[in-house]
Structure 1
Amino acid sequence: MKLIATLLFFPGLFLAIGQGAKAQTAKDTAVIDLTRSKTAELIYTSVPANLTTASHDEVYNADLIKSPVTTFRNALSGRLAGLYTLQSSGLPGSDGASLTLRGQSPLILIDGVVANLTAFDLEEIESVTVLKDAMATAMLGVRGAHGAILITTRKGKAAKQQISFTVQTAVQKPLAFPKTLGAYDYARLHNEALRNDGIDSLNSGLYYSSTALDAYRNGTDPYNYPDVNFRDAITNNTSLLSRYTLSASGGNQTARYFVSLEHVNQTGFFKTVDSNSYNTNNTYKSYVIRSNIDVNITPKLTGGIYLLGRILNSNEPGATTNTILSNLLNTPANAYPLLNPNGSFGGTQLYQNNILAQTIGSGYRQRYFRDVLVNVYLQRKLDDLLPGLWMKTKVAFYSTLAEDVVRNKSFAVFQQAGTAYTQFGTNGTQANSSGIAYQGRNDYEEFSLGYDKDFKNGDALNVLLLANRDNSTNGSDLPYTVSGGSGRAAYSIKGKYLIEGAFDFNGSNRYPPDGNTKRGFFPSVGLGWNLSQENFMKTVSFVSNLRLYGSYGKVGWDNAGYFVYYPRFYDGPSAIFGTGAGGVTTITEGTLPNTNITWEKAAKLNLGLNGSAINNHLSFTVEYFRNKYYDLLQQRGRNSTLIGNDYPDENIGQNRYTGYEVKLGWQQTVKELQYFVALNGSSVGSKVLFADEVAKPYDWMKQTGQPVGQAFGYVANGLFQSQAEISSSATTVGYKPQPGDIKYKDLNGDGVINQYDVIAIGTTKPLFFYGASFGISFKGFDLSALVQGVQNRNVYLSGSSYWAFQNSGTGQAYSNNLNRWTPATATTASYPRLSYGANSNNDAVSSFWMKNGNYLRLKNTEIGYSFPAAVIGKIRLQTVRIFANGYNLFTHASSELDGRDPEAYSGGYPVQKLFNFGINIKF
């Protein structure tokens, strides 16, 4: 690994030192930099606006680094139209938000190469671009239907050497936890649940006595009648995140470089003890090195090598973070004392997994990630053959390895009875293991030929042909290879009209070798009209630019699985024939093969209008899209189980996604004051056009016609208030309701609540998400903020993080359970009567548990001050800037969530609020 780091670092460092003395001034930087021309990896978006009709949006480095996060995913929230983010966990090293682009999970590319790396130095990213429509992803072919996210890393420029050093330290604080009940409230509600379920108090030892209730309320006997806040006992209120970044960039007409080093140290919130010689906290450390070098080998030949090396180390308790967090949701406050009077871990026969012991006494687990990404290219101008002609070849290699080291330790718990203790479990047994958790490799080869021509009459032509092969191996699987050829041509007529076409002819090796499913043809076409160049617009003086554009095309999605067209047979369980006979191995048939499997497809329409006005202070973009996804892989709902086997997925599904996106911006400079405001809003709706469903007697039961992924359940109609109301209502199959139970609507009027009364629940309106940012700078001071939010969103609250007394009655209870139905609270109750364990009626999927998931979040703020150049120039520094920024600072959400975070509401590792302080020095 040291050798890799040396190879990554020293080429760039050598150039940095060597070029420093020969650095060019700003007026000498007009050199040909072919890496920034219309190359294959950038052709999807980075061409002049008058030469593309592709739908895309981008965010740049200056905005990305305002967020004190470890993955670029979390820096995108609210900044890009059409991109929806959801961060459901704050676990260090695994806190990346999920990304959905116009309803789909997009492909991620780094400098044009597919590489699903999301945790690396934000300062090395020049821009993140979302590619939305068929024209933008046409050349991805069989991998373009879901859209793509293109990460462009920073490259060197022909300019004076600049070295930048940034130090940041952030304080992290969990946003929200489920509010658990103390021992007294838990015990009295526990008794109430037993009574509600008719469990006899005389014949059951489950009830808490009046003595126990008094002890819980008064706290007079904390060992026999404990009242423990387990979360406070094992977690800290704050943790730290530190980041150190060093970069150098510069170059001249011959060579340009960008080199960066970054170290991140993020601690988790588990408490530790000094008596352990090892770390039991859930920590995350990363070491990332980037070296990008571009060289003009000859006046016509340019080459470059882009290198990324990454080391990620994570640590957690031996019992695992997820197990501990799960036990927090299943262990009531009165289960046991954390420590007995003699200092041993407390526990009982029922609760043997002492949470403190799991946190500090179960050993530790470590995972080591090692990643290397190499991207090399050569590009030559072919002007000697035809002016404007060029060719390029590129080779990339990516390797990843994850290794686990596990050193678990068992522990015993003890239950006190007078002066004696009863032991449960074994104390001090250690188990050591290590192994490869994951490994993978990827190689990519590409050859492209391009032609760029500006004609004297004002027309322009851009043509690109490309052939590529992407081969990856994951673990012990056979290689997955995507290969093919693609092309693009765009013609602009005097800057007014644009016609653009693109295609890809490619496929993968996951399809049958015979037939027509090995390769597919994916064409797209686009038209653009620059209205501001027309004579009739010249009288509209306040409009600077106005452009109308649209595209339509077909793209694919490779979702074939692992050679599913082959029949599979596995060794089955042994069968015994006759008395005393030996076992005979049987053969079990796997899922039936699908010999006709092919890729999924999408037909995409995109229409847009963008422009600027009022001396370019105002900018705007409005887009409408309508995407039909078809040949989606689904299992037929009407398959028969009589054959005794599972049916394969088949290309039969159809969905449609429609929506619009709006962007507005204003920027202006007034003397020394600069400010900007940017708004974006996106609406995404969906509809199932076809799903092969089991025959259903009522239309309201069908998924077809509903939004994709729509939840189905019973419609809650309040809570039963009396036995008379129960007697006059529909009966429930297999259940006898009581006052306080959830009452459901009898949709078909047959007097019975059953599967025929299941309907779409929750909102069916299109999801709407938005972002609003502003910034201002004045005499060295700068201030910016970002607000992000979502509308028409539901969350389903259920299970051990919300319902009382789960796990057969032994689980937690929460503050929302206090507002349960009783005869005294009948008119105000928001929770049904309490039950001991599962309740088949109240726990059924229904609209009762569907809650408002809308929220508005102050996602990011930053304030900074840059010292005057006249001051820092005396010590030969270019820039000194001190800053403070915050992340997830304030959230407004529905009271229906009972204080839970609207993104991470299920009781897992909470999303973090961060307060970050730093300094950046450039010299």
Structure 2
Amino acid sequence: MFTILDGNDFPLRGADVSNISFKNNAKTDSTGTAKLNSNKNDIIRVHYNGILLKEYIANGNLNQIIRIDGNNIMVMQQKKVVLTNDIKISSNLTTSSTQAVYNNDLVKSTVTSVKNALTGRLAGLYTNQNSGRPGLEEVSVSLRGQNPIILVDGIPRDLTMIDLEEIESVTVLKDAVSTAMLGLRSSGGAIAITTKRGFIGAQQISLTAQTGFQSPLKMPKTLNAFDYATLYNEARVNSGDLPIYTPSDLDAYRTGSNPIGHPDVNWQDQVLKDRSAFSRYDLNFRGGGNTARYYVGLEYQNQKGQFKESDLNEYSTNTSFSNYTVRSNVDINLTSKMTLGLHLFGRIGNYTQPGSSAANIFSSILNTPNNAYPVYNSDGSYGGNTQFQNNIYAQTVSSGYRLNYRRDIITDLTLRRSLDDVIPGLWAQALVSFYSGISENTDRSKSFAVSKQTGTGSTATYQVFGTNGTQTNSTSIDYQNRQSYLEAAIGYKRNFGLHQIDAQIRATSDNVNSGPDLGLNYYGGSGRTAYSFDERYTAEVAFGLNRTNRYPKGSPMGFFPAAGLSWTLTKEKFMPKLSWLNDLKLFTSYGRTGNDAAGYFVFQQFYVGSPSSYYFGTSASSSSTLRQDVLANPNVTWEKADKLNLGLKSTLFNNHLFLQAEYFNNKYSDLLTSPNLSTIVGTAVRNLNIGVNRYSGFELQLNWQQSLGKFSYFVAGNASTLKSKVIYQNEVFREYSYQSRTGQPVGQPFGYIADGLFQSQAEINASAKIAGYTPVPGDIKYKDLNNDGVIDQFDQAKIGTDKPLIYYGANIGFSYSGFDFSVLLQGVANRNLLLTGNSEWEFQNGGFGQAYEHNLDRWTPATAATATYPRVTVGNNFNNNIISSFWMHSGNYLRLKNIELGYTISSRFTNKVKVSGIRFFVNGTNLFTSASFDRVDPETNGGVYPIQRVINGGLSVKF
């Protein structure tokens, strides 16, 4: 007898189980059981709707459990939706907008951030990686345009406190009915993570070891010393000054004949490695019996950074990240009706960087030209001068180091009691959770001296800047967080023939403290009820009722109701039986959600001391007085969102194709916004609940999977659109409608509208005047939008595209005779990319800054017809170096996010060596990017720790 379970250990009903050796088969019942005889080493195959899910070698036991990998998309349709802690809702009993991704897909990503692993996998979820620093990838995540709350086993957590390997599934909750129970934290949607649990069966041990290397995707392309000096002379002349580099200087830069007086240092090559190491090791234990079930996961992760090191140091000055985690999930049947869950998590994380900090080193690279100074002078001292007193190489290897230690401990205790002996279907649950975390900084940095060398040999002189200091030794607390979460719940779940009902009500208290700061407390209740008839019609209602200590005493609790309906058309008699249509379900929901955006004591009026002068008679006298500080907002309340969701789900073509399409329209009101007040008020005012925005869009998920003998393949794709609009924000009066922010997309950039480059003085004379500036040929020309003959602030308008953002992903793969291959593509369209500042403009930093290869495409009389960059000048140009459409580019891109090739050794061999499975794999992350504007990485825009390209290989063994 065989029991077939999905990745979350739910019985898989309706699967076909066949014994190839005996040539008999059986179908699984509602408990996932198929009665099928077998002998040891018989080949057992599990199919679902004609799709091969797994091939299994029988072990000869009377009762055997076969688990189906969680990434099989056909099984995904049978998965349960996790809405709250440990409560799994049957898919036919929910009308909500949800989508999930599973462990087998996530672990293919060689990243340290769970957020990064989600990129391109779920419709409605948009991610952008802002940095590639080891362990601190700084990935921003939005769900339908909002910041979602993170739930780990139903409890609000920080997403950095979880590893990929311990995740069973990640479900995004996108509409009102799926998040209403979260109350004041429901407006942004939720990312609900379920960690792995034990199961009934023999112990399974799995070990995965992988290692690889990483290299930066994009770095700014700086000019060599000769091109820099030549361009600098040109910029000086354009700025009305004389050149400073003589022909002999230029020749020395060109030939490299004087590396001390005329250096040419590529600082990127000098301080950065071409590649760095990455490794991850996971050891998991999973199993249990009728009394207890357990999962224990151990992980060690190490990621090195890009900076070169010196053999003279007895310590590392490179950026690095190492992380040790342990998770233990144990569930014990205390009695036949009572279950105790004890879930533990611990983490030790170490982050290292040079004493001058990684951010400052990359900033120095952007601001230091190749000819600024040599790495070393003739006497071995570090090069430098008046303008550049932080030698970049010295910053990297001679500034000491900084450490950040992070320690996190989580304990969850859950007690669940079936109350079937009181009322069949009734249950109760209590949960207590504690978290304690601390982040401690150790500063072992030191100062260093630099010198400017004049002359050579015995006549050389050195002007010293700074001093060589000793290492500091100080510690400070970055954060010290504590959280206590309490929950009590009672529910009822029962089937009555064709009728199903699932209801629950909860009381929660969530207290979060960060160091000496005032704690943040959320408390209240929530509930949900779902009713289904014949799995054809489903109605669902949910609510949240809670408040926080951020609002005045006596203020009402926030009430956030939502409701949903679904209709499975293919169960209707009037629906024609179409051979290509297996299932079709329509669903909708509407409700109100909340967001606690207020700070502490926004409602409280404060007074500050102020020495003020008052006129009495003919002279002023001064006295200590009190005056009103920023005016309070006594009516502050939570932000609200009214959300509408419409969708359909369908399986087609003998269940090979799954489709989910949705439309959402969400109105966010009572947004805390700065009011537009007259200066006659005489003081500032705290933000008021007056803003109104709207977000809407479409989402599409398509999955195709098919087996052709031993060959199986899948194609999964998703696409989303996001349109936003400012409805109201108490905007200041603007004389020209094209300058109004109201009615535009949220965050729409505004600036001057570029109209090419001035080509001649005659064109300048015929154009509008520029307030405070006299243009010359080669400067950027702007449109005079109000036709008043002057270019000023009244000619600013929206720049870039205002079309709905489109983001998409595609996951494609196949398996055959032990080989498996998969590719994940991810992309964005209608995205603005505004490039300004030191990584874009030439000779910034007070006129001593860096210049780049794209600056060579500047306007000159000889290149006037082909120039793509304005004439170069020294320092900030008040006409060219301002926000305008000239610096706005397309941010569209398509990225090969992940690719993996694996091979699983045949079970006929592994059974002989007492091993359940051996799999070898190689994978890569961020291997290729096609961007509309490819000079910079489209996610980081340059100027920060670059995103990494990773190539990795490993081995997975199961016992």
Output the TM-score relative to the length of structure 1: 0.93
SS of the residue 1:94 aligns to:
coil
Letter in 2 for 1:220: S
**1:778 and 1:576 mapped to 2: Cα distance?**
89
State how 1:149-548 maps to structure 2 within 5 Å. 149-199=191-241, 201=242, 207-418=244-455, 419-456=460-497, 458-516=498-556, 519-548=557-586
Question: 1:476 deviation in Å?
Answer: 1.6
Letter in 2 for 1:336: Y
How many positions carry a matched residue from both structures? Answer: 881
Partner of 2:148: 106
Question: 1:904 deviation in Å?
Answer: 1.5
Partner of 1:678: 716
Question: 1:96 deviation in Å?
Answer: 3.8
Partner of 2:125: 83
Partner of 1:868: 906
CA contact (8 A) 1:654 1:689 kept: yes
Q: Does 1:902 align with 2:928?
A: no
SS of the residue 1:686 aligns to:
strand
**2:95 and 2:611 mapped to 1: Cα distance?**
59
For residue 606 of structure 1, the aligned residue among 642, 645, 651 is 645
SS of the residue 2:160 aligns to:
coil
Question: 1:399 deviation in Å?
Answer: 1.2
**2:532 and 2:558 mapped to 1: Cα distance?**
29
Question: 1:538 deviation in Å?
Answer: 4.5
**2:793 and 2:387 mapped to 1: Cα distance?**
37
SS of the residue 2:860 aligns to:
coil
Is the alpha carbon distance of 1:324 and 1:575 closer, same or farther for their aligned partners in structure 2, counting shifts above 3 Å?
farther
Is the alpha carbon distance of 1:300 and 1:119 closer, same or farther for their aligned partners in structure 2, counting shifts above 3 Å?
closer
CA contact (8 A) 1:24 1:159 kept: no
Is the alpha carbon distance of 1:575 and 1:167 closer, same or farther for their aligned partners in structure 2, counting shifts above 3 Å?
farther
Q: Does 1:651 align with 2:693?
A: no
Is the alpha carbon distance of 1:87 and 1:38 closer, same or farther for their aligned partners in structure 2, counting shifts above 3 Å?
closer
Letter in 1 for 2:723: G
Partner of 1:16: none
CA contact (8 A) 1:575 1:585 kept: no
**2:816 and 2:934 mapped to 1: Cα distance?**
41
Question: 1:30 deviation in Å?
Answer: 12
**1:165 and 1:30 mapped to 2: Cα distance?**
20
**2:134 and 2:677 mapped to 1: Cα distance?**
44
Question: 1:432 deviation in Å?
Answer: 2.1
SS of the residue 2:712 aligns to:
strand
CA contact (8 A) 2:483 2:511 kept: yes
CA contact (8 A) 1:575 1:586 kept: no
Is the alpha carbon distance of 1:754 and 1:41 closer, same or farther for their aligned partners in structure 2, counting shifts above 3 Å?
same
State how 1:92-103 maps to structure 2 within 5 Å. 92-103=134-145
Render the CA deviation track for 1:451-500: whole Å, top value 9, x for unaligned. Answer: 011112x1111111111111101122111111111111111112111111
Q: Does 1:48 align with 2:87?
A: no
Is the alpha carbon distance of 1:611 and 1:116 closer, same or farther for their aligned partners in structure 2, counting shifts above 3 Å?
same
State how 1:666-815 maps to structure 2 within 5 Å. 666-815=704-853
Letter in 1 for 2:200: A
Letter in 2 for 1:552: Y
Render the CA deviation track for 1:297-316: whole Å, top value 9, x for unaligned. Answer: 11100110111101110111
**1:891 and 1:346 mapped to 2: Cα distance?**
38
**1:881 and 1:571 mapped to 2: Cα distance?**
70
Letter in 2 for 1:514: G
SS of the residue 2:63 aligns to:
helix
**1:25 and 1:721 mapped to 2: Cα distance?**
86
Question: 1:40 deviation in Å?
Answer: 6.6
CA contact (8 A) 1:767 1:792 kept: yes
CA contact (8 A) 1:24 1:160 kept: no
For residue 951 of structure 2, the aligned residue among 910, 915, 920 is 915
Question: 1:170 deviation in Å?
Answer: 1.6
CA contact (8 A) 2:80 2:91 kept: no
Partner of 1:889: 927
For residue 847 of structure 1, the aligned residue among 885, 892, 899 is 885
Question: 1:93 deviation in Å?
Answer: 1.4
Question: 1:431 deviation in Å?
Answer: 2.3
Question: 1:590 deviation in Å?
Answer: 3.7
Is the alpha carbon distance of 1:897 and 1:26 closer, same or farther for their aligned partners in structure 2, counting shifts above 3 Å?
farther
**1:73 and 1:55 mapped to 2: Cα distance?**
20
SS of the residue 1:658 aligns to:
strand
Question: 1:686 deviation in Å?
Answer: 0.4
Is the alpha carbon distance of 1:546 and 1:863 closer, same or farther for their aligned partners in structure 2, counting shifts above 3 Å?
same
CA contact (8 A) 1:319 1:358 kept: yes
Letter in 1 for 2:108: K
Partner of 1:552: 590
**2:475 and 2:221 mapped to 1: Cα distance?**
38
Partner of 1:14: none
SS of the residue 1:322 aligns to:
helix
Letter in 1 for 2:520: Y
**2:702 and 2:867 mapped to 1: Cα distance?**
45
Is the alpha carbon distance of 1:766 and 1:592 closer, same or farther for their aligned partners in structure 2, counting shifts above 3 Å?
same
Question: 1:27 deviation in Å?
Answer: 3.0
Question: 1:119 deviation in Å?
Answer: 5.0
Is the alpha carbon distance of 1:194 and 1:687 closer, same or farther for their aligned partners in structure 2, counting shifts above 3 Å?
same
**1:439 and 1:305 mapped to 2: Cα distance?**
24
Letter in 2 for 1:134: A
* Higher mean displacement: 641-650 or 231-240: 641-650
Render the CA deviation track for 1:318-344: whole Å, top value 9, x for unaligned. Answer: 101101110101000000001112211
CA contact (8 A) 1:345 1:413 kept: yes
Question: 1:415 deviation in Å?
Answer: 1.0
Letter in 2 for 1:604: K
Partner of 1:580: none
Letter in 2 for 1:428: G
CA contact (8 A) 1:461 1:489 kept: yes
Render the CA deviation track for 1:564-600: whole Å, top value 9, x for unaligned. Answer: 11223456799999xxxxx997767542211110000
**1:594 and 1:508 mapped to 2: Cα distance?**
17
Letter in 2 for 1:904: T
Question: 1:642 deviation in Å?
Answer: 3.9
CA contact (8 A) 1:398 1:442 kept: yes
Letter in 2 for 1:599: W
Superposed CA RMSD in Å reads 2.1
